[in-house]
């Protein structure tokens, strides 16, 4: 299919008069189209869940979460990877994004970068892929050369490939092990895929990465427990998380945090199981750091 024949490049008949609408009418038009994005993503929930279920055991075993893309798709991937690090206590080696054109492309357009197969192969070769890595490749059109080449290279080296696009049956959807294809339709401004396609990608990446983090024990209840107390602000945040997770006082949380050498998950298990530091450490080691599983294992042992 020619590029100008893609659904993402077609004119949207619902916004053909947007340049003549009042400001309120204009934003209402945009908002109505955004509602269509949520519905399109909803239809892909089984595919998103399947991708999470395939990815999280690999990440739990030391695999990396690697995002690749060009332009808006690449920038959104870099953002997701970057934000995961402080939110869930990850390092830049555990999750990162690669964008066509390199770091310069984050703030500037790098001409022809998205068409370069060689650049994609070189970028992927540089990260020394393993069969535990998960690569999330995103391209609204599903046919960006850089993204396709990067995903193909990753799969050839044993990595699991998740592909996001907004075109059914696109080359990216056909190539990916786990394709996710919310069909959002023509953009409000013809061809401006930073709009609905970009919104869909952000929604899908949120689900993927959050799901993987939850499944790998980076969340207890609905709290982000891998915060590392390094200053007064983060120490107070850690105490609050522990107190809320265990339904105890901030004083008890502070004492547990001190006993656990500022390790939030360990402090939570210590309070929840009412055991010793050694026992809490043993439970976490037995469950690969999963607080929920550690607490459940303790309950099982007591019974």
Q: Beta-carbon neighbour count of residue 223 at 10 Å?
A: 16
CA 186 to chain centre: 25
Instruction: Note whether 220 and 81 are within 8 A (CB).
Output: no
For residues 46 and 180, give the distance between their C-alpha atoms in angstroms, rounded to a whole number: 9
Catalytic annotation present for 83: yes
Which of 9, 21, 25, 83 does the annotation list as catalytic? 83
Three-state secondary-structure class, residue 18 = helix
DSSP per residue, 131-168: TT-EEEEE-SSS--HHHHHHHHHHHHTT-EEEEE-SST
Strand 134-138 versus strand 160-164 pairing type: parallel
Catalytic annotation present for 244: no
For residues 154 and 141, give the distance between their C-alpha atoms in angstroms, rounded to a whole number: 20
Which of 5, 9, 33, 114 does the annotation list as catalytic? 114
For residues 210 and 265, give the distance between their C-alpha atoms in angstroms, rounded to a whole number: 18
The enclosing H or E element of 99 equals strand 95-99
Residues that are catalytic? 83, 114
């Amino acid at each position: 299919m020619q590029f100008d024949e893609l659904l993402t490049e077609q004119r949207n008949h619902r916004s053909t008069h947007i340049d003549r609408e009042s400001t309120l009418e204009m934003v209402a038009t945009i908002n109505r189209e955004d509602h269509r994005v949520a519905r399109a993503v909803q239809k892909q929930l089984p595919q998103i869940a399947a991708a999470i279920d395939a990815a999280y055991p690999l990440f739990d075993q030391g695999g990396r979460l690697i995002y690749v893309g060009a332009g808006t798709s690449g920038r959104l991937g870099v953002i997701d990877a970057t934000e995961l690090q402080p939110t869930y206590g990850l390092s830049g080696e555990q999750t990162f994004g690669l964008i066509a054109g390199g770091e310069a492309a984050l703030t500037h357009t790098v001409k022809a970068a998205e068409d370069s197969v060689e650049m994609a192969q070189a970028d992927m070769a540089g990260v020394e892929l393993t069969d535990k890595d998960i690569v999330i490749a995103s391209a609204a059109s599903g046919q960006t050369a850089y993204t396709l080449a990067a995903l193909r290279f990753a799969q050839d080296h044993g990595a699991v490939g998740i592909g996001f696009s907004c075109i059914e049956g696109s080359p990216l959807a056909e190539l990916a092990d786990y394709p996710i294809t919310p069909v959002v339709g023509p953009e409000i401004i013809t061809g401006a895929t930073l709009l609905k396609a970009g919104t869909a990608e952000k929604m899908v990446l949120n689900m993927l990465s959050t799901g993987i983090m939850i499944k790998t024990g980076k969340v207890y209840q609905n709290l982000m427990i891998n915060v590392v107390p390094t200053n007064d602000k983060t120490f107070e945040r850690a105490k609050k998380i522990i107190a809320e997770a265990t339904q105890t006082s901030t004083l008890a949380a502070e004492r547990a945090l001190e006993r656990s050498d500022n390790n939030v998950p360990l402090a939570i298990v210590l309070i929840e199981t009412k055991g010793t530091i050694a026992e809490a450490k043993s439970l976490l080691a037995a469950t690969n750091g999963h607080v929920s599983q550690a607490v459940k294992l303790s309950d099982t042992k007591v019974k």
